[in-house]
Amino acid sequence: MTAETRVTDHRLSPIRGAYLIADRTRLGADELEPAVRAALAGGVPLVQYRDKSHDPDRRLAEAKALAALCHEHGARLMVNDDPELAREAGADGVHLGRDDVSVTDARAVLGEDAIVGVSCYNDLARAFAAERAGADYVAFGSFYPSPTKPDAPRAPVPLLKRARSRIHLPIVVIGGITPDNAGPLALAGADAAAVISGVLEADEITEAARRLNNLMRLGW
């Protein structure tokens, strides 16, 4: 199944608005659920659980709890890198990087209804390949200096505009994005903005999430 048959109009996709990355390097065990709950209260429709540690029992318990929390709020949970964990936790999909399994392999684990997203960095050709492989969205970045990945390759706004004119999938932008700087990316064609510190380090998480959702609506 190709991307063209999965998504005929990116404007109809649920991949829109603020996309919270619940990064365990930024959130302690007692902070994870309260922070995600606060973001969901601000209207976040999509959350990604990101944990690079090697504690399978804890990762599964946390991913299950976040899946239940997201579904309670009508939102969806993605898992970073790990299709098996996404399946076991009852998550809605997986986000894949350059060194992870293929879209085809992830879908073999999760099924055709799962959401599969692909990081494309600043590489338009990688996005075209992801679309052909049947991905549900592609992600570009870093658009701004990122405290999480300071050495990440930078993606320029003209790349985003070219991608929007040639790719039929939802486009996620990432990297140093905040409620104060997301507007130009929305106007350039981004459907969703993935954030960590831009929401989680705000004085009021719920309000920051709400502001980011409103900014991303500029391009809808």
Residues noted as catalytic: 50, 119, 149
Half-sphere exposure of 202 (CA within 13 A, CB side): 24
The helix/strand count (H/E) of the chain reads as 10, 8
Rounded Cα distance between 168 and 1, Å, is: 15
Exposure string of 6-30, with b = 16+ CB inside 10 Å and e = fewer, is: bbeebeebbbbbbbbbbbbebbeee
Contact 86, 110 (CB under 8 A): yes
Rounded Cα distance between 99 and 191, Å, is: 25
Amino acid letter for position 87: R
Amino acid letter for position 34: P
Cα Rg of the chain (Å, integer)? 16
Task: Count the Cβ atoms, other than its own, within 10 Å of residue 85.
Answer: 21
Largest CA distance in the chain: 44
Cis peptide bond prior to 142, omega within 30° of 0: yes
